[in-house]
Chain A
Amino acid sequence: MLSQKFLKVWFAGELDEKAVEHLKRKLAEALARRERRILIRFYLDKGSHETYYEALRNILLSSVALSIVVEERPAYELKRDLERASGEEILLVLGRGTIRPSRSAGLVVEEVEESCLRASPT
C-alpha cells in the first residue's frame, strides 16, 4: 500500500487551530477529488507532544474514507527534503513561523494565514 500513489501534503510551522482547519480542508478536498490516499508529513520543531497529538487527532478524525499516512521529520530537514523531492508533486502548507522556501519544480505552496484558495506555485 505504501508504494501506491499518495496525494502528498507537507506541513511546516506552528500546528495551531487555523493550521488544523487548513489541513482538514485538504483532506475534504482530496476526498471530493476522489483521491484514495493522502500522506501528510509534519516538519516538527521540538515542542509539546500533547499539543501536536491533539491537533493530529482533530485532523485524522475528520476523515475515515481515505487511507492516511502520517510522517514526522525534524523541521531542519525541510530544506534538504525539498531539494531531494524536486519534480515530485507536493503541496507544502506553511503554518505560522516558517519562511517560504525557494522555488522547486512540482511544489505548490499554501500559507495557512492566506485563504485556502490562494495556492501559488513557487
Chain B
Amino acid sequence: MTTLPNPAPRPEGEIDELRRLWRTPRGLRFITVINNNYIGILYVGAAFLFFVLAGILALLMRVQLAVPENDFLGPDRYNQFFTMHGTIMMFLFAVPAVEAMGILLLPNMLGARDLPFPRLSAYAFWAYFVGGLVFFLSIFKGWAPDGGWFMNPPLTNETYSPGYNADFWLLGIGFIEISAIAGAVEIVVGVLRTRAPGMTLGRMPIFAWAMLVFAVMIIFAFPAVILATALLELERAFGWPFFLAELGGDPLLWQHLFWFFGHPEVYIIFLPAAGMVSMIVPTLVQAPLVAYRYVALALAATAFLSFGLWVHHMFATGIPRLSLSFFQAASMAVAIPAGVQVFAWIATLAQGRGRMKMTTPALFVLGFLFTFVLGGLTGVMVAVIPFDWQAHDSYFIVAHLHYVLIGGMVFPLFAGFYYWMPYTSRHRLSERLGRWVFGLMFVGFNVAFFPMHLTGLAGMPRRVYTYAEGYGWETPNFVSTVGAFLIAAGVLVFIVDVARKFRMASEDNAGNVWNAGTLEWLPNGNYSNRSIPVVTSREPLWDQPNLAADVEAGHYYLPGAPTGGRETIVTSALDAKPEFLLRMPIPGWAPLVAAWFTAAFFLLLTVKLVVPAAVCGVIAIAGMLHWAWELDPAPLAAPVDIGGGIRLPAYISGPRSQSWWGVVVLLLVSAALYGCALFSYLYLWTVAPWTWPRPAQLPGLAYPFAEALLLGASSLAVGLANRRLSAGPRRIGAPLFTGLLFLIAALAVEIWAQRDFAPTASAYGAVVWLLASLAGFQALVVVTLALFTLARAARGKLDRVRRVTFDNARLFWHYTVGQSLVGVAVAHGFPRMLG
C-alpha cells in the first residue's frame, strides 16, 4: 500500500462525531446497549457465571463420591445435579462462551465497526441470560431435569418422568438453542461480509476461520436437537409415539438425532478454542503461524467429518457391526485435522527459538497442548469399537471428555482471558496471580481426572450417585475429589484477579501489550477502528508499517460517519472488495422486550401456564415486529465517499445485501431441521414398516396433485407481486393475498387428506403429522412476513428500491413452497413407491 485512501489530515470534530454516534447509553438505558464490545463482555460474563454455577454442582457431586456408600446427596438430588452440570456446561457455558468471544473480538479483528446485526446479538444474549438463569433456579424447586444431559427416552417420557423436570430441559434448552442460532447467523454474515478491504479468505485470522466454521456447524447441528426436543415434547404433551416401541416408534431415533447434534457440538466448542490458540501462539513467539493453510483446511475438514461420527456414541446399542465400522473409521479420520493443528502449534512454538516468555497465556496454551493431546489419544482409543464396549458409559469416558473439553476448551479460554484482557480492560490481569490460577487449575485438573481413566477400566459406571466398596474405586475417587477442589481454588484466584484488574474500557484499554499482529490490537473505541484499514497480510500490524498511526489518524477508509449514523463497510465474501455501506441500527428496547418475553414464553409453557405464556409470546412477537419495523431505512440516493476514490452505495437490496444473506442462513437452518424430519420418517419406516399404510389405504392421488397445484400457484403469485413491485407498492396486495390463500389451502388439503391417520395411533401417523406441522409452522411465518410487508407498503415504507422486506418475505415464501412440495412428495409418494 503506497498511497493511503485519505492522506489529507482529517477535519476537526470528526472523531467526536464518531464517539457521539457510538456512545453507550447511560444510566438504566445501559441495558439497551447493542455494541459488540459491551454485549461481548456481558455475554462472556454470563457464560462464566454459568461455568461457576455448574462447577459448584460438580464440587457437590465430588463430595458425594469422595467415599463409597456416601449419603451426602441422595439419588434424586445427585441425578438433578449431574444432569444440570452437563446441560449447563454444554449449553449455557461452553457454546455461549465461545460465541461470546466471537462477538467480542470479531468486528475488531476483521476491521468492522460492529457485527452486521447488532440487535440480534443483543437479543441472543438477553434470551440466553434470562432464560438460563431461570432454568438454573429450577434446581432450588427440585424441578431441575434429571434425565441426563442427553435426555434419553423412554426415561424422559411422560410415564417415567411425569414432573416438570424433563419439560424444563426440553423447552428451556430448546430456546437457548434458538439464541445460539441467532448468534450463528450474525457470525456467518459478519465473517463473510464485513472484513476489512483486502482481507481475503486466505488472509483471514484463524480465529475468524474457526468462528465461521463454528457458526456453520451450529446451523446444521442444532436443528437436529431442536427437532428431537420438539418430538419428545410432542410425545410427552400429546402422545405422538415417536419413541414408543409398542406403537412403532424407537428410542434409538432420539439417540440418532441427539448425537447428530451432540458430536458436532464437541467440535463446535473445541474449534473456536483452537482458533484462539492459533491467535495466541504466534504472538507469544512473535512469528506467524506455521502452516496457516493447513490449519484453515483442518478447521473446515473437521466441520464436515464431525457430522459422520454420531453413532460412535451408540456402539453399545446393538447396531450391526458393519454400520458401526463406518463410524469407527470416520472417528479416526477426524484425528488427522486435530493432529495437523497440534503440530502447527508446535512448529510455531519452535519459531520462538527457545526464547518464548512463560506468561500466563503461554502456560495455559502449553497446559492445553498437554491435556488435549492426551484427551485426543483416549479419543482414538474409544473410537475402537471393542474397547468402547468396555469404556462406554464408564468413568473412562468421564476422564476422556473432560480432557478434551477442559483441556481443549477451558484452558484455551483462560489463555484467551489473559491474552485479550488488555484489549477490553484498562489493565491487564496479574501475571503473578495468573501463575497460581494456571498451576492450581492444571495440577487440580490432572489430579481430578487422570485417575478416572483407571476407575472406569476398573469397572465403575458413570452417572452413579454412589458406589460399592471393595472394587478398587475408593482411592481414585477420593483423589479425584481433592483435584476438583484444587481446580475450584484456581478459579477462585482468577475471580480475585478479575475483580482487582478488570475495568471495562475501549478507547483507554491497556493496548497491544503483547505486540500482536492482528487488527483487534489497533487503537480502538466503541466504533472499533477510527478508519478501516486495507489489509495486505495475515499479520497487518507486523507487516504494514505505521498502520496503527495511520488508522488512528483516519487515513484509511471511512474515517468518519458520512451518513450521520452508525455504519460499516460490507465487502465481498471471498476477496473482501468493498461493496456497499451498511447503515446500522442504534440501541433500543425492542430486542430486549422480545428476548425477555421469548424466555418467559418458553418457561411459562414449561410449567403449563398456557395463557400467560401465550400473552408473553404475543408480546415477544410484537417486540420483534417493532424491531423489524425500524430496519430497512429509507435509501440514500447518492453513493458515499469512503476515501481512495471509492464511492459506495449506502443502500442495497437483493442477493448482495447482508439481509439476504441472513435470510439464506436462516433458511439453511430450516432446511437442516426439515432434513432431520425426513430422516426421522425414513428411520421409523426401517424400524416399523408395519405401521406404514399400503398404497390402497393412502388418500387418493387427487390430494397431492391438488396440493402441488396450489403450492405452485402460490409461488407464481409471489412472482407476480415481485414483478408488480417495480411498478408501485400499492399493486402487490392482490397477488400476495391470493398467494397466501393458495398456501393455506394447500395446507388445509393436506390436513384433510391425512385425517384417517391419527398422530397418536402409530409412529407413521405421528411422523406424517409432523411433516404437516412443519409445513404449517413455515406457512405461519410466511403469513406474518406477508402481512408485515403489506403493512410497510401501506405506510409508504416499501417501493421499487426500498424492498428488502419484500425480498426477505419472497425468499422465505419460495422456500416454504419448495419444502412443502418435498413433504407432499414424501408423504404421498414414498408409501406408494414401496408398493
Do chains A and B stick together as partners? Answer: no
